[in-house]
Amino acid sequence: MITAAGEKPLVSHSKDSAETPTLAESVYQRIRRNILEGRIMPGTRVSIRSLAESVGVSTMPTREALKRLSFEGLVEYDRRAVTISTLSPKAIRELFTIRLRLELLATEWALPRLDAETTVALRSVLDRMIVPGISAITWRELNREFHQTFYSCGDSRYLLELIHNIWDRIQPYMAIYASAMHDFTEADRQHEHMYQLMLARDLDGLLDATTRHLEHTAEAIVSALGADTTTGRGNNVNYEELSISSFHRLVESGGATSADLTAWYLDRIATLDSIDNPDGPQLNSVVTVNPAALDEARALDEKYARTGTLVGPLHGVPILIKDQGETKGIPTAFGSTAFADYIPDTDATVVDRLRKAGAVILGKTAMCDFAAGWFSFSSRTDHTKNPYDLDRETGGSSAGTAAAVTANLCLVGIGEDTGGSIRLPSSFTNLFGLRVTTGLVSRTGFSPLVHFQDTPGPMARNVSDLAAVLDVIVGYDPTDSYTALATSGPEVGDYGEALDGVDADTLSGFRVGVLTDAFGAGDDQELTNSVVRAAIDRLRHHGTGVVDGIVLGNLETWVAETSLYTIQSKFDLEKFLGSRRHTGPTTIREIVDHGDFHPLTDLLADIADGPSNPEDHPEYFKKRTRQEDWRRTLLAKMADAEIDFLVYPTVQVPVPTRADLAAKRWTALNFPTNTVIASQTSLPAMSIPVGFTDSGLPVGLEVVGRPLTERALLRFARAWELAEAPRRQPQIEASKARVTM
């Protein structure tokens, strides 16, 4: 029993449709459909006379229809007026809980009876749902058709009637959700994932995916209902989990402007992030807001209104920059209270390229002092809370960018990675974070730590946004000779284009090797290991070739023999500070002696004790040589195993609590992060989200490739994203704290 492709999926409670309906029946159906399709929104109050006139009849048949609709719970009415019934967020969640119980049962009954005819029909529905420019109404009807087609396989009239009744109660809110959504990428991804599980006859996987799908839909509806409507027309749109491409479609369709989106993010920063809002979670990820952000966004909107053309690939995209990168006219403190008043005269090269591509610099994000650590603790901002657990760390040093991107305080963010400062916090916040081959992205204007390991890079909620930003910031910069690498061959660039044609099946074209040494031992480590091993099993399920048992041998020794932070960083930082016009200190010793750093940023004191000239240190050249040795060793492992990538946990343990860090359970030099493997060998690596611990903490899988294989890394990550839909938005709420512009 399947639904024909053109059939309306709304269920009628009328008599046999073959009979000519009475006037009262026709009026009932028309008003009912208007309510279910969202043409009359919940909470709307209209007179009975005007409602009758809208369907071209008198009030008598209208009153008869309203009696039936009232019995169904769709309206409330008195002698003169009618109000479309509203549901509270609690009621919506309750209905979705009931819906989930019914649909899990329907799934159990339907899957064993799924036949070839129905799979073809389901494929057709999914293909029509992803047609570019699809309307909200059409998508919503196809969404219902998809679920109804599958559940009909169970051949239970009574179960379907119960499900339809719940659907009808929710349908007006599905209309609000569908109209408010910027696009349906996440929902479409979930539907495709469910379809693949149906084909695989994976009941447990399908039950889990159905649960996640309905929970996501319920929260999306609640979010859409709660969207602020006081700061502009664009705020009627739900901007959470927005992507760059979907934002540009909104701009081109007239559905939103850059100023709309920028104002929405600024308001959200004030609500969820600001330490000045006592009713909010006070994430403390944004250290400085660009006071000109709205003006810059409006200027872009005016240019688009005149020309009808986007100014660049990042037109109007609000971006947050790690406070390590210099921004003209915006304070840049490098995480240090000693530089709180430093305002650069020029932009870092990365920032300049972002602006020229049309981006709006929304502000600067928190980081530990001079990026010298794995955590967020900073003399400038103290600490940044993890949106998934406010008592835990976000990870560093790109802590603010990670927390802000995952909490939807910006569209995309820029971090910087020397030892893992993009990938480590990405792992702890359910993000995609990419460290490119050292030299592809200019370091000019970013405070250094170890200049031959440093590289800025993007952090994003989805892979497509990562690629879009990468296309803008990769390239040769005459002020940074390392970027000559970006001119080396055809493997560089066209990162967005590399994602064309990628689907879940693309995973079957890759081979990965599991680096056994990088799995830690212990109770905390096992919490992470179990999630990563489950992800590797899912890769096998999707056809990825998996080579187990790749052994490096004595990982801790390799890390120690290639670590140069306490030898190189003092020289690099002092050279940088000495080249800037400012009134702050110029030596790390001066900063440490004056106590102008957070006491938990313990590495800074060790850096202050380092040599003035690193080449004078007896271990310097040996360590530089060992970095090259390690690089060749890893590449040989890949070649011998005939694999594309090495994989292992991004970090060996779950995100620590701030109490653990205050007690110094972990320090900069003993924290078990695997990100140093790629950093100290200058290889490209990405942390991809692969799941959560039982207590809800995000876990990342590190994927390391050969030099200049960023396109392959992106394709692999995108295929994983499509196959597993690993992104799960943190649930954070607060009372509103209005921000004055």
What does the pLDDT look like over 686-741, one tens digit per residue? 999 999 999 999 999 999 999 999 999 999 999 999 999 899 999 887 644 333 33
Q: Do 347 and 211 share a structural domain?
A: no
Q: What's the CATH code of the domain at 186?
A: 1.20.120.530
- In a 13 Å sphere around the CA of 373, the CA atoms on its Cβ side amount to 31
| Domain-embedded: residue 588 | no
Instruction: Quote the DSSP letter at residue 474.
Output: B
Give residues with Cβ within 8 angstroms of 361, minimum separation 6.
290, 293, 296, 319, 321, 327, 330, 351, 354, 355
Q: 351: which residues sit within 8 A by CB, 6+ positions away?
A: 321, 325, 326, 327, 328, 361, 414, 445
> In what helix (H) or strand (E) does residue 222 lie, and over which residues does it extend?
helix 203-226
Residue pair 140/181 in contact (Cβ under 8 Å)? The answer is: no
379 and 295 both lie in a single domain: yes
Length of the chain measured in residues:
741
Q: Is the domain of 442 the same as that of 421?
A: yes
Q: What is the rounded CA–CA span in Å between residue 592 and residue 604?
A: 7
What's the token pair of residue 107? 């799934």
pLDDT of residue 6: 35
Domain assignment present for 738: no
**What is the rounded (10 degree) CA torsion for 465, 471, 473, 474?**
130
Q: Burial letters for 506-515: b for 16+ Cβ neighbours within 10 Å, e otherwise? A: bbeebebbbb
Residues acting as catalytic residues = 322, 397, 421
Spatial contact of 119 and 199, defined as CB atoms under 8 Å apart: yes
| Predicted pLDDT at 230 | 33
Residue 17 within any structural domain of the chain: no
Residues 30 and 157 in one domain: no
Contacts of 536 (CB under 8 A, 6+ apart): 512, 514, 546, 647, 701
Q: Judging by beta carbons within 10 Å of its beta carbon (0-12, 13-18, 19+), is residue 267 exposed, middle or buried? A: buried
Let me know whether 69 and 178 are in one domain: no
What tokens were used for 639? 């070649």
CA distance readout (Å), 200 to 105, 113, 114, 509, 732: 19, 13, 11, 19, 35
Residue 100 confidence (pLDDT): 94
Tell me: do 636 and 660 sit in the same domain. yes
Where among 168, 198, 223 does a domain terminate? 223
Q: Are 76 and 83 within 8 A, CB to CB?
A: yes
155 and 94 within one domain = yes
Helices (H), ranges, 227-331: 244-253, 258-268, 293-307
- For residues 439 and 394, membership in a common domain is answered with yes
Question: 289 lies in which domain range?
Answer: 258-563+617-724
In the chain, the number of structural domains is 3
> What is the C-alpha separation between 110 and 724, in angstroms, rounded?
22
DSSP annotation of 272: I
The C-alpha atoms of residue 462 and residue 242 are separated, in whole angstroms, by 10
Residue 568 to residue 563: CA distance in whole angstroms? 9
Asked if residue 67 is part of any domain, the answer here is yes
Residues 403 and 434 in one domain: yes
Listed as ranges, residues in the chain with pLDDT below 70 are: 1-20, 37-39, 41, 79, 175-183, 224-238, 734-741
In CATH, what number is assigned to the domain containing residue 341? 3.90.1300.10
Number of other residues whose CB lies within 10 A of the CB of residue 108: 13
CATH code at position 48: 1.10.10.10
The pTM is what?
Answer: 0.74
Q: Is 676 inside any structural domain?
A: yes
CA angle 706, 707, 708 (to 5 degrees): 115
Q: How many CB atoms lie within 10 A of CB 626?
A: 20
Query: Do 297 and 393 lie in a common domain?
Result: yes
Boundary-marking domain end, from 223, 244, 272:
223
Which pLDDT score is estimated for 3? 33
In a domain, 178, yes or no: yes
Do 385 and 491 lie in one domain? The reply is yes
Report if residue 163 sits inside a domain.
yes
Q: Which of 84, 108, 132 is the last residue of a domain?
A: 84
Angle at the Cα of 332 (from 330 to 336), degrees rounded to 5?
150
User: Is residue 6 assigned to a domain?
Assistant: no
Distance (Å, rounded) from C-alpha 675 to C-alpha 422? Answer: 9
- Parallel/antiparallel/unpaired status of strands 455-460 and 412-417: antiparallel
Q: Which helix (H) or strand (E) holds 391?
A: strand 389-393
φ/ψ bin of 169: left (φ > 0), alpha (ψ from -120 to 50), beta (otherwise): alpha
Residues 310 and 441 in one domain: yes
Closest C-alpha among 230, 239, 236, 288 to residue 262:
239
